[in-house]
Amino acid sequence: MACELILALDAPAPGDVAPVLRQLGGRVRWVKIGLEMFTACGPDCVREVAGLGFEVFLDLKLHDIPHTVARAVESAGRLPIGMLTVHAAGGPEMLRQAVAAQRQCSARLRLLGVTVLTSFRPEDLRAVGVGAALAAQVGHLAALAVEAGLGGVVCSPLEVAALRPQLPTALRIVTPGIRPAGAAGGDDQARVMTPAEAARAGADFIVVGRPVLKAPDPVAAAGAIIEELGSKSGQRDH
């Protein structure tokens, strides 16, 4: 499978990115709706974006007691979404109940276990009481996701190469923390790579937002990333 671009809709409402979405229809298949837009607009924003012909990755990073997360997965599963995130740090029982709820409500929905946020540095893990090395913690949480039956994991691109051989082939790796060459920094992400580097490492999906949304020519910016992924996915390091 070639690595694929997911466009992160980093905006309060679909209307704020509607011009870009109209331009990218037919070129970009997946878009990500995160907490900002979902909190502002609720489920209607998912329906609106899906109605434009895009596959929706709903990035809510659910993390609560098992029953609450399971019910939230059931609710989200009624929406036109293809991927949904839960925090793998919620533990085995939370993950198992989330998977059971997903299987009951939507066979096409892929649950993704978030490992360690791309904003985290080693000192951040220590600050929240985790003594493991960052890469080891990512591997541990990914193993919990696999054992519970999730369909994928989310990690920074820096952990992909080590993680990919440890995971079942069918399990997808989604990687935020992607910056195209020459893109400005200024966000919260600490562990980053270019699209080509992430594809070579073994990522199945990369998530890119502002470098496309804020580009003078979003179609050209997205096209350059897609072309880079197409040329590099066949040259993976593993």
Please, are residues 113 and 87 in contact by the beta-carbon 8 Å criterion?
Answer: yes
Question: Distance (Å, rounded) from C-alpha 46 to C-alpha 56?
Answer: 7
Q: Which residues are catalytic?
A: 61
Parallel, antiparallel or unpaired: strands 110-114 and 30-33? unpaired
> Exposed, middle or buried: residue 57 (CB in 10 Å: 0-12, 13-18, 19+)?
buried
Q: What are the CA-CA distances from residue 112 to residues 51, 174, 197, 216, 226 (Å)?
A: 23, 8, 22, 32, 23
At 91, list the tokens.
């533990």
Locate tokens 């609710």: which residue? Answer: 75
Question: Distance (Å, rounded) from C-alpha 42 to C-alpha 45?
Answer: 6
